[in-house]
Every structure is written in structure tokens, then in C-alpha cells.
Amino acid sequence: MKKSINILFSLVIAAGLVSCNNGNDRKSSKGQGGLSTNAAERVYVAPGELDEYYAFMSGGFSGQLSVYGLPSGRMLKVLPVFSQNPENGYGYTEETKPMLNTSYGFVPWDDSHHPDISQTNGELDGRWIFINGNNTPRIARIGLQNFKTEEIIEIPNSAGNHSSSFITENTEYVVAGTRFSVPIPQKDMPINEYKGNFKGSLTFISVDQETGRMGIKFQLIMPGFNYDLSHPGRDKSHGWFFFTTYNTEEAHSLLEVNASQNDKDFIAAINWKKIEEYVNNGGGKMVPANYAHNVMDEHTHSATSTMLKEVLTVNPMDVPGAVYFLPTPKSPHGCDVDPTGEYIIGNGKLSADLTVHSFTKMLDAIENKKFDGEAYGIPILNFEDILAGVVKQPGLGPLHTEFDEHGNAYTTFFISSEVVKWKVGTWEVLDRQPVFYSVGHGMIPGGNSRKPFGKYFVALNKITKDRYLPTGPELTQSAQLFDITGDKMELLLDFPTIGEPHYAAAIPAEMIAKNSRKIYKLAENKHPYASFTNADAKVVREGKDVHIYMNMIRSHFNPDNIEGVKVGDKVYFHITNLEQDFDVPHGFAVIGANNAEMLIMPGATETLVWEPKEVGVWPFYCTDFCSALHQEMQGYVRVSPADSDIELSWSLGED
């Protein structure tokens, strides 16, 4: 067998050599170049072997965060974040419902865009990953020990939370900028009075370095432009944050035309350290607000939602020298900073060129007050004074740029559907490869940090068309993996993704795999309805509420026979999984439940509500094949008429 594999590989490699088309043949219109190389070998992770990187890909309009292995492109898990997930009960169980609470009430869906892994000294540290909810502005923190959404904070005064969630280089702040400017505070007013009256908020959320807990430190209230994407300064530019803007025209209708009038929009450069100092000295204005802060407690296995009632706002006019505008051609989309922190790339999506600003020149222009007017009192720097260089005509529709550790940049081009590699500093185009089709973000592991791991580039594509077997009008989304270790980028693999993948973040597997939790310790379970022993297993009535303290282990529920429940009762199944071994979750489902099932991890307690509507004897069962006796893992609840006088009783293994 092994011999035949060797022969196979030799054949493949030989074939690759013979038919070598230098991997850069743009005529191969469907990009099948991978077939003529040993690409298969380089993405093949043999059964039982593990991938080299974790890739966290935004779930787009699924609202979730998906976890892939690279280079195999195998999906490992979908982590529920902003959307309910009936697969494990997230957003359905009593413990997790508070995670999706907002000032608008329970919001069970969002549009998740930009995951970013926590950093220390500008390098990935693998503690947490953050992601934004775009539609109902929220930021989530997912712990990379539990691979679980541990916290969600709503962003007030924001709408279309798109230039988010990007983090400063010691994870001091997670930053969330608004794409849609709105009246701040919200009020009833004519839409056509937008100009000058709508505002854009840029929110700096502090992160506790021990617990990861988030809290809004301040909101900078900016002119009513669209704040599209953002990136923190790195290394020498640490302390600054850069936001691309479009619609500096302040159009409120037909933006397709009306927001594309100005020759240049801006990158807003924010000296957040200066504002932080201002705020720490009592600056800013506390204003009324209403936003949810939801936190999952690892020991009670339960989330709480707290409504916060005020937020500190800062008017940029009050902090001189903290905010400048860098003119940047044609509605820049991605805003990217190279690993040295010197270069700020404006990916002007309607421009044919890429504009690169110099941080050093920017500081010099500020110091020498080389301004070219102002916008709403904010100084505009002179374009020529701060320009580091231009990548000339690299393609059409530049969106995003990532970096490797060798001074190369990789920019995605949506319209011309390609990835272009260019040299930072000389601005020379080194390579271009077609992408199938219409790439949005690109991602290199650590490629937005001070320390990229430049082995792979992942293109996150907007259009799939004919790349997979058709599945009716609605297709999967798609990613493509390139090897970028050589002079030329080499397409290795296509793989499907969930939702629309926007940004992604990846990290070497060994940095987090070793920390991945296996079980929750029963001894640390502080859930108020946990039951650990036969003596704890019980059923308690409180009016119409019936609380079942149940536990489970391979392969039975305790209790598994319950009588005395009545039509009209609200039954809470509080179930504790007593297993203390890795990969032995149990599931729970009960007939006619109007919510979902729930999956209970070893050592955890979860609660599902069931409201029986009919008299009868109704079964429940374990949904996750747990042992050879899994099919025996079941029980019954007897539901009697509302006026029945049958007392509550419960049992396991008794006649």
C-alpha cells in the first residue's frame, strides 16, 4: 500500500515536472494549475494527522465563526456567536439566551465580518478571538480555551458596525467603527437633513488582560462619513488607529453615485493614546445610552445580560492633535498597516492605484502643520506630503492587503478577481494570480500583525459559480488556498465556507491546541440547578414552573420517569452531564419542544424549557450517540390534565 502511494506521488511529481507551466499561466482560465504540480500532496493531511494552522473564518450572514484546519481546508467546527444554533442549543437554552440580548430585545441573528486574534507586543497570543456583529452593532469575544462565545457587548450610537473588530497590539482595545452615520442620539428627523447632522462613532472598547472582559472606554463622535474599515498602528505607529472613510460627500440616497463624487476621501488617523490620556484625566462627556453587556460565566455555565445606561463620548475638537484626515483616492475600503507600522495602505476601491501613506511623513506633516484645509474642524494633511508611494495599476477594485514576513504585500482585487503580490518600499508588482471568483478579504496567518507566518494566503471569495457541483440557485461560498513560500503564489486548494466569509484570522495550531479544554470539572460547577448525585436528582414545583434537577451519564438520565406534570406547566429540564471524560457530551431532546435540542458537555449543566400542551406520556432521549447503550438512553414524562391531583414523583430503575 505504502509502495503504491510512493509510486503515485512519484507519478504526480513527474507529471508536474513534465507539464510544468510555471504556475503563472493566466491562460489556464479555470486555475487548474494545481493539478500539474504536487499541490495535492501539500494540502493532504492524512487520516489521523492534524492540520498546521487553525483558521477562523467569519460566518458572514450566518452570524457565526467557523473553524477550519489549514492546509487541508477541513471544517473543524462552527462556533455560534450572534445567531441561535439549534445544533447545540446556543441561544435556545436558558443559560445562553441572555447572550443574544440587546437594547432591541432578543436578536437571534447577525452578520459577522472581521475576526481578529488577541495580541501581545503586536504578535498573536491565542488568548481570545473577537468578531463584530454588523447589523445590530455588537462585538463578541470568544475564548480560545473553550472555543466558546464568552462575552458580547452592544455598541450604542452605531449602525452597520463594519470597521470592527480590530485590536491594538497589546489587546488594550477592541475597536468598532460605524459604517452608517446616524443621528446621535437617535431622534425623529428628516433624512435629507443628514449633512452636518448625522454623526459617525468610533468606539474604543477596553479589554481586561486577565479576564478578557470588555467595557466601552470612550466613543469618538466623528463627522457623518461612512467609516468602512480600520487597522491599528503597529510597532512605531502603535498608539494610532486608522479608519478608511467613504461618502465624505455625506449623501443619504443613491450612494452608488452620490458617494462616489469626491476624487479623494479620507483615512482618519486617530491618536488613541492621546484621547485615552484625555479621558483618564476626566475628559469627555458622559451621555445617556442603552446597551447590553452579556457575559458567560464558566462556572455557573450561565450568561447574564446587563443593560448599561451611559457612555463616555469625546468630541475630536476637544482633543487638539488627536485626529487628522489623510486624503486617499476614491472611496478606500481596506485600511492596512504593514508589520513595521510605517506604511498605511489605502485600498481605494474605485481607484486603479494603491495609495501608501508614510507614518513618518504623517508625523512630520503634523509637526510642521502642513495642512490642506479642514473638515468639520479636523485638519486635512496634504496628500503629497504624506505619500510614501503608489502601486501603479496593479488591478481593478483593490479591497484588502495582508503581509508576509519578507516585506511583501498581497492585495485582493475584487473587480479583476485576482491577488497581487507587491514589494513594500519599491511598490513593484511581483506576481499576480487569478482567483475564482471576485475575492473580498485575503488572509495570511498573522498577516495583519507584527509577526506574519507567511506560508499560506487564503482568498475569501464572494462568488462561487462553477467551482463546485451546482446546488440550485443558492451556492456555497468559497475560499482558496495559495502557497506563498516561493517567488510566485501557487493555488493549492478550493474549499467551501459557511455564510459569506469576510475576513479570517489564522494561528499556528500548536499555539492553542495544547490549551483546548477537554472537560468542565464537576467540582467547579456552580450552576444553581446542577445535580450531582441521586440525592440531588429531584423535581420541584413552583406554581406552574416545574424544575427538574436531572443528571446524566452513559447511558441513562436520572430521573428517567417523571409524573405529576400538568398541561399548562412550564417545565425546566436542568441537566448536568456527570461525565468527566473527553468527548462524551450527551444531548437532550423532548417531543414537541418549541426551541431546540441541547448538547451538554462533560461537567456542565444546561437548561431547556418545555411547555407540554397535551395530556399523555411523552418521551425524551439523548441525541448524541454516546455508547452502545445510547438507544437505551431515554425517559418519559407523564403529563396529566391541568386540574389533575397527581403528585410530582420521579424515579430511576424502580417499578
Partner 1 sequence: MKKTLTILTVLSVMLFMGCGDGEKKKDDPYGKPASTEQAKPVSTVPASQRVDLTNKGIGPIKNVELGETIDMEMAAKGEEVYNMNCTACHKVDKKFIGPAPKGILERRTPEWVMNMILNPEEMTKDDPLAHDLLLEFNGSPMANQHMTEEQARQMVEYFRTL
Residues engaged in binding partner 1 (CB under 8 A): 48, 50, 510, 513-514, 516, 518-519, 522-523, 532-534, 551-556, 558, 578-584, 626-629, 653
Per-residue 3-state assignment (H helix, E strand, C coil) for 489-534? CEEEEEEEECCCCCCEEEEEHHHHHHHCCCCCCHHHCCCCCCCCCC
Residue number with CB closer to partner 1 (488 or 556) = 556
* Cα angle 360, 362, 367; round to 5: 95
The letter for the amino acid at 166 is: F
60 phi and psi angles, rounded to 5 deg: 55, -130
Shortest CB 541 distance to partner 1, Å: 24
Instruction: Using alpha carbons, select from 604, 607, 584 the residue that is nearest to residue 596.
Output: 607
Residue number with CB closer to partner 1 (209 or 516) = 516
Shortest CB 253 distance to partner 1, Å: 54
| Whether the Cβ atoms of residue 400 and residue 442 lie closer than 8 Å to each other | yes
The β-bridge relationship of strands 561-566 and 556-558 is: unpaired
* 212: number of Cβ within 10 Å: 18
Residue number with CB closer to partner 1 (428 or 583) = 583
The residue to which cell 504540480 is assigned: 37
Shortest CB 507 distance to partner 1, Å: 15
Residue number with CB closer to partner 1 (9 or 532) = 532
Residue number with CB closer to partner 1 (48 or 486) = 48
Question: Which residues sit opposite 413 in a β-bridge?
Answer: 398, 418
What would the DSSP string read from start to end of 388-447? Answer: EEEE-S--SSEEEEEE-TTSEEEEEETTTTEEEEEETTT--EEEEEE-TT-EEEEE-TTT
| Whether the Cβ atoms of residue 479 and residue 456 lie closer than 8 Å to each other | no
Shortest CB 430 distance to partner 1, Å: 36
Contacts of 605 (CB under 8 A, 6+ apart): 95, 301, 525, 527, 529, 530, 574, 575, 576, 577
| Whether the Cβ atoms of residue 551 and residue 560 lie closer than 8 Å to each other | no
The letter for the amino acid at 229 is: L
What would the DSSP string read from start to end of 188-237? Answer: ---GGG-TTT-EEEEEEEEE-TTT--EEEEEEEEEES-EEEEEEE--GGG
Shortest CB 533 distance to partner 1, Å: 5
Residue number with CB closer to partner 1 (354 or 522) = 522
Shortest CB 576 distance to partner 1, Å: 10
Q: Quote the CA–CA distance of 438 and 451 in Å, as a whole number.
A: 28
Shortest CB 558 distance to partner 1, Å: 6
Residue number with CB closer to partner 1 (106 or 625) = 625
Shortest CB 178 distance to partner 1, Å: 41
Shortest CB 637 distance to partner 1, Å: 20
Shortest CB 46 distance to partner 1, Å: 12
Residue 55, C-alpha cell as written in the block: 483558521
Query: 266 in helix, strand or coil?
Result: strand
